A and B are shown apart, each in its own frame.
Chain A
Amino acid sequence: MRPVLRPLQALARVPAYLWAAVLVVGMLVLLALVTRVGQMPGAHVINRAELLVINTTAAQAVALPYVWHNERRDWSGQATYRLRLPAALGDAPLDDGLGVLLPRAGVHYRVQFNGHEVAAECWRRGPGYCDAGTHAHFVALPQALMAPVWADNRIDIQLQGQSLRISGLSPVWVGPRDTLNARYRWLRWWQVDLTWMVTASAFMMGLLSLLIWVRTTERLFGLLGGGLLVLTVRLWLSTPIFVPGPFPLWDYVHKLSFTWYCGFVYLFMSELFDFRQGIVRRLVVAMMALGPFWLAMLEWTANYQLYRLWTGVIVLVCVAALLAVIHRARWGMNVNQRMMVVVGLAVMVTGLRDFLVVQMGLRGDVDIRWMTPGSLVLMFAMGWVLVRRTAVAMEQVARHNTELARKVREREQELHAVFERLQSVESQRVLEAERRRLTRDMHDGLGSQLVQTLNMVRSSGQRIESEAVASMLHHALDELRLTLDSLEPMDGDLPTILGTLRQRVGPALQAAGIELVWQVEEVPAVPGLEARGVMHLFRCLQEVFANVVKHAHATRVTVRTWEEGGRIGLSVADNGVGLGSMPDAVFQGGGRGIGNIRLRAAEIGATVRFSSAQPGTCVSFMFDTRAVSDAQRPDFV
């Protein structure tokens, strides 16, 4: 496979415009070969006719091709071209009969042979759009209608005028029927079948371009789609069809489609060559905008000079556009632009050839125009450029997507790393806060209890009171258990927190002969009561119960919870001596008194209130159900 692939790969590296150049040169050579002036054995061309225009005085001899409107200057009426059969044909009678080939006759025509109608097109179909002059016609001459004397045979070709259409007759071929019929089929393929092929291709490509334009909103596709669709209309009206409706309307569409086609092609080129601004572009847009009005005026006045003028405008604009392209080429062109220049030059060659052959009499098949295959090549070249652009754009999108994905991945990794660092910092911060809290609790609770026990043992000397030491160690153990309780997950469940505390303080109250009345009801979770908050609440309530046991002389203490207007309440009320009778140290804010309770309550987002319970004291805590942020908490140590 490698020996085969290598040359193919080398060929694939050749720029596309060079390929295109080779192909169009090949096409031009092929066209030159197939449109050589051929021989039709036995056929004769008739270059002279006798013209009789209706309502004129006398017949006149004319040389073909001849446009009879040149004589009338209006579009009405009929004309008859009378032809005589060449004498040479009569000398050698034909076995397969005679035929006539009309390369161009129109717009409407009828053929009479010796006074009998033998062919007609667009002659009596009524109002509608029909142009027989766009293609060749073959007419068989019946043997039965032959005059006994050869010189008496005559062919009358009658033409009807049509507004704004040139009406005339080109040289006529007469000869063996089969020979002329073969030539006719050959011309029909070029003039009709090829046109239909170009029409269908233009329609499909135009539709495709418009669809891509709708999806991508890229102007280039819109311009190409518009150009190809108006070209489709133009070509469709240039084929042998009959369209009902007023002729001027379809003639207007036919002429306007050409104007717009030229405009769209130029705009497409300007978009492709990136010279969007400039006087030529403005001229083209003005031409496209003015065209409908100018051509409407043309149809209204039926003045053919207006059309000639308009054609001149189109030619001038196209020449200006061509100059702009050449001007632009000074800055260099990319492969697509070179491709279009190559194909554009080839199309210009086809137009030049048609002009030289048809108008200047250069040797060549005058009935076969190169412009039709030329426009097909131009169309496919434009399509190829678009496909290439789309492919490049898709490759760019794919590259951008890959790049974007890579960047997103990098950012994700960076974010992940930052998040992990933040998480680590946050973990460290939480750990530090917990360490400080536990240290503080150990220091205030267990530590001080053990120090007290130690001091007591030391001061007791040899007489250690084991009961007292056991009691103090038991108390120390309770302190430790309280700290561990605060670490259990309670999720801000106030009744459970109170119940846990009850286990610790309940025996002390019982020992002091104080009845505990439990009126705890289910309330919503308190947001700030996580481990640290729980310990603060424990300490607050420990302080309150200690005051009750030590100072209140109470016999009963009631613990109650409730919910009120989105807030949660907790109260501890005793029936003791009341606020006024307690020692100052308890409620004057010093040491382990109210100040400590207030400070701890503030830290868990609660407000605390001391009031008289008549008799006794009531300490109430009110918790806000909103979460307490760390920023709001004082740094309480």
Chain B
Amino acid sequence: MQATPPAQGSSGPIEDTRIYLIEDDPTILHFVQQTLLLRPHWRLIGQAGSLAQARQEALLCDANVFLVDLGLPDGRGEDVLRLLARHQPDAELLVFTVFGEESRLVGALEAGATGYVLKGCSGEQLIEAIEQIRDGGAPISPLLARLLLKQFRAVQDSLPDFPPSDLVGEVLLSERETDVLKLVAKGYVNKEIAHKLGISPATVGTHIKNLYRKLAVHSRVQVVRAAQERGLL
């Protein structure tokens, strides 16, 4: 994972960071609590150890950052992400993962995640990841970039020859976003990409975050299309 320098804020000032943790491992809860000591004005406003609890509490809470474990004892973290993306559209959804397997991360991003952070990272790294995502950036890896390029190519192929223009803007990659993804896939970091494309590193982060949003939209479009094909809509 590479860090993205601060860019534009997303939901209020960064000092007003309210975190909700969805994780069944008490050591992680302890780790998060210890880490927040580094940022006294940030608050951990709640914690759920299961999917059921998250459904009851997280959807109604006032957090603007959710840390979500993908492997919950009673369900999949992707389901939580999907619910949160619908009920908490302005919140940042960070996936908490041990290994960061890109194949699974794509599924999480499609469900609505806006970033990820590796379990086992240091407290500083967690703070950095939260700040990055609150400032409009997003983490990405070369392999994830490669998978996303394939994913978006598949989306483009599945669209009709003359899709509605609003759908194109919402679902397909722009030329600049494609350039960014290609460079990430080749192992370049944000700073190097910014230098090559003549833009700021923060803009690179913004592009990446946009990609994630489009991926989630794409996922929703797919669901709608499947429903239409089955005559449900």
Interface of A toward B, CB cutoff 8 Å = 474, 477, 480-481, 484-485, 488-490, 493, 495-496, 498-500, 502-503, 518, 520-522
A and B contact pairs by CB, cutoff 8 A, 10 listed: A484-B101, A485-B143, A488-B103, A490-B143, A495-B187, A498-B186, A500-B141, A518-B189, A520-B188, A522-B186
Residues of B within 8 A of A503 (CB): 1-2, 141-142
Contact A490 B187 (CB under 8 A): no
Contact A499 B1 (CB under 8 A): no
From known contacts A484-B99, A484-B101, A488-B103, infer whether A499 and B120 are also in contact, taking CB-CB under 8 Å.
no
How close is A503's CB to chain B, nearest CB, in angstroms?
A: 6
Contact A496 B99 (CB under 8 A): no
Contact A499 B187 (CB under 8 A): yes
Bound form: Cα–Cα A435–B120 in Å: 26
| 5 other A-B residue contacts (CB within 8 Å) besides A518-B187, A518-B188 | A500-B143, A502-B142, A518-B189, A518-B192, A520-B186
Contact B187 A520 (CB under 8 A): yes
Bound form: Cα–Cα A522–B179 in Å: 12
Interface of B toward A, CB cutoff 8 Å = 1-2, 99-103, 120, 141-143, 145-146, 182, 184-189, 192
Contact B186 A499 (CB under 8 A): yes
Bound form: Cα–Cα A474–B122 in Å: 10
Bound form: Cα–Cα A489–B106 in Å: 13
Residues of B within 8 A of A477 (CB): 120
5 tightest A-B contacts by CB?
A499-B187, A499-B142, A495-B186, A496-B146, A496-B142
How close is B80's CB to chain A, nearest CB, in angstroms?
A: 23
Contact A496 B100 (CB under 8 A): no
Residues of B within 8 A of A500 (CB): 141-143, 187
Contact A495 B143 (CB under 8 A): no
Contact A496 B120 (CB under 8 A): no
Bound form: Cα–Cα A36–B184 in Å: 114
Bound form: Cα–Cα A503–B141 in Å: 8
Residues of B within 8 A of A481 (CB): 99-100
Bound form: Cα–Cα A168–B142 in Å: 115
Bound form: Cα–Cα A474–B100 in Å: 15
A559 closest partner in B (C-beta): B187
From known contacts A474-B120, A502-B187, A503-B1, infer whether A495 and B99 are also in contact, taking CB-CB under 8 Å.
no
How close is B94's CB to chain A, nearest CB, in angstroms?
A: 18
Contact B99 A499 (CB under 8 A): no
Residues of B within 8 A of A489 (CB): 103
A516 closest partner in B (C-beta): B189
Contact B103 A496 (CB under 8 A): no
B142, B185, B187: residue with the most chain A Cβ atoms closer than 10 Å: B187
A473 closest partner in B (C-beta): B120
From known contacts A481-B99, A503-B2, infer whether A498 and B120 are also in contact, taking CB-CB under 8 Å.
no
Residues of B within 8 A of A484 (CB): 99, 101
How close is A483's CB to chain B, nearest CB, in angstroms?
A: 10
From known contacts A477-B120, A518-B192, infer whether A496 and B187 are also in contact, taking CB-CB under 8 Å.
yes
Contact A495 B120 (CB under 8 A): no
Contact A490 B192 (CB under 8 A): no
How close is B188's CB to chain A, nearest CB, in angstroms?
A: 6
Contact B102 A488 (CB under 8 A): yes
